[in-house]
Amino acid sequence: MNHNQLFRQTRLQLACWYAGVMGVILGLCGWGMYEAIAHAHWMTLDRELESVAGTLHDSLEPVLQEPAQLEPEVGRLLPDLCTQNEQCWNRKFTGKRHAIGALHQGYYYVRLLDLTGNLIAVAGVSPDRLPEIERADTWQTLTDSQGTRFHQISVVLHTENGRDWGSLEVGRSLKEFDDYLGAVKVIMLIGLPIALLGVGTASWGLAGFAMQPIYQSYHQIQQFTADAAHELRTPLAAIRATIDSNLRVENFTIEDIVETLKTVDRQNLRLSQLVNDLLLLSRMDQQELPLKPSPCCLNDVISDVEEEIAALALAEDVKLTTEVRVQQGVQVKGNEEELYRLLFNLVSNGIQYTPAGGEVTLILDASDRQAIIQVKDTGIGIHSQDLTRIFDRFYRVDSDRARHTGGSGLGLALAKAIAKTHQGNIQVQSELGQGSVFTIRLPILELR
């Protein structure tokens, strides 16, 4: 298949399309997964911050007395709280401080701001020089001077007696989150081309697999066209040679003319036979059922064949016998002419491929609502390696001998096609030098 430019190109195109479509699907799936992972993490993060802020808010409000005033009780609740005057200001997380459970990982910070938004105290990690933000938003995502992102929630704090105290900000670094999503992105970016490579290779293989039957029928058509052209060329060349040689003869006798016409007629007959066989085969390729089906009595068809071919058997010195093993007539639904053609081809083959003194038997039997017709001969037989091919169009085991018998290699192909359109089948058993048995099975229409 790869030697044919058209098929190679089509296979490549198919593989590229498969890989392209799969690439888009995989890309969309990867993007969807990435978004789902990011969303799930973001939700968890929000819930954590909300829960920490809520707990702190509920614990702090009962101890706050004056707006923007830090009561000692606040320091008890947040032990590592650092006010602006203390030296601990801007300290970095050492990994040893533990304020409340949620802060212990070191990614969290708590900030207390007065009503104007000035920082009063901080606990946990303090992001370096966070940009000014719009305090009206409850949720904010900020980036510090180092480029680290932080996510925080802001809640308003009231004093014990309901006056505004300031606000509480609880936030956490998004470094861990960003690193994780970055890793997921890298895995996907590396994984996608690798997966595409796999998909591309599989697509190439699958495209080849899918195109195999198309290529086979293309090859068969090519072979058939070449064989048909070859078969048609032989009689045409013979006619032309006969005419050419006769044109060179100066004085024609009447015998010469008759001889020439006989040769032309013989070749013409061969041509017409070939064309008729080809037409019949192509018609059978197109239709599933026999032409104008009607009940046919196989006993009658067999007698007709025997009668027609008796002269040939006599001429070839082959004994032709018929054995009807059923008491009643066997009826099948089909086209009598086609069934006649089927049996005629088999019996004439049997006679032609059986040496003088041999025997050809035509048997009619029935079993399991099937008509069984056998054509047995004691002829030359067929080699096992040829048995699978003898039903192919234009196939001849021994071309020279077959051509000598006038065969074109279409007889068995036609027999098989006729059996098939009659919902039956044809099988062959043969042994070289011993003879052959062709068995046809057809569904019985009615047993009288």
Chain residues in the site for ligand ADP (CB under 6 A): 345, 349-350, 353, 377, 379-380, 382, 390, 395-398, 402, 407-413, 436
Say how far apart CA 149 and CA 130 lie, in whole Å: 10
Q: How far is the CB of 262 from ligand ADP (least distance, A)?
A: 22
Q: How far is the CB of 264 from ligand ADP (least distance, A)?
A: 22
Say how far apart CA 344 and CA 394 lie, in whole Å: 18
Cβ distance to ligand ADP smaller for residue 124 or 381: 381
Cβ distance to ligand ADP smaller for residue 164 or 398: 398
Give Rg (Cα) of the chain: 48
Say how far apart CA 401 and CA 354 lie, in whole Å: 12
Contact 293, 335 (CB under 8 A): yes
Closest to 77 (Cα-Cα) out of 33, 43, 121, 37: 121
Q: With residue 338 as reference, give the H or E element that holds it.
A: helix 336-352
Q: How far is the CB of 359 from ligand ADP (least distance, A)?
A: 12
Contact 425, 370 (CB under 8 A): no
Q: How far is the CB of 426 from ligand ADP (least distance, A)?
A: 11
Q: With residue 109 as reference, give the H or E element that holds it.
A: strand 108-113
Q: How far is the CB of 296 from ligand ADP (least distance, A)?
A: 22
Q: How far is the CB of 411 from ligand ADP (least distance, A)?
A: 3
Half-sphere exposure of 124 toward its Cβ, with a 13 Å CA cutoff? 23
Q: With residue 444 as reference, give the H or E element that holds it.
A: strand 435-447
Cβ distance to ligand ADP smaller for residue 341 or 422: 341
Cβ distance to ligand ADP smaller for residue 312 or 397: 397
User: What one-character DSSP code corresponds to residue 129?
Assistant: T
Q: How far is the CB of 305 from ligand ADP (least distance, A)?
A: 15
Cβ distance to ligand ADP smaller for residue 242 or 408: 408
Say how far apart CA 239 and CA 277 lie, in whole Å: 20
Cβ distance to ligand ADP smaller for residue 362 or 366: 362
Cβ distance to ligand ADP smaller for residue 99 or 320: 320
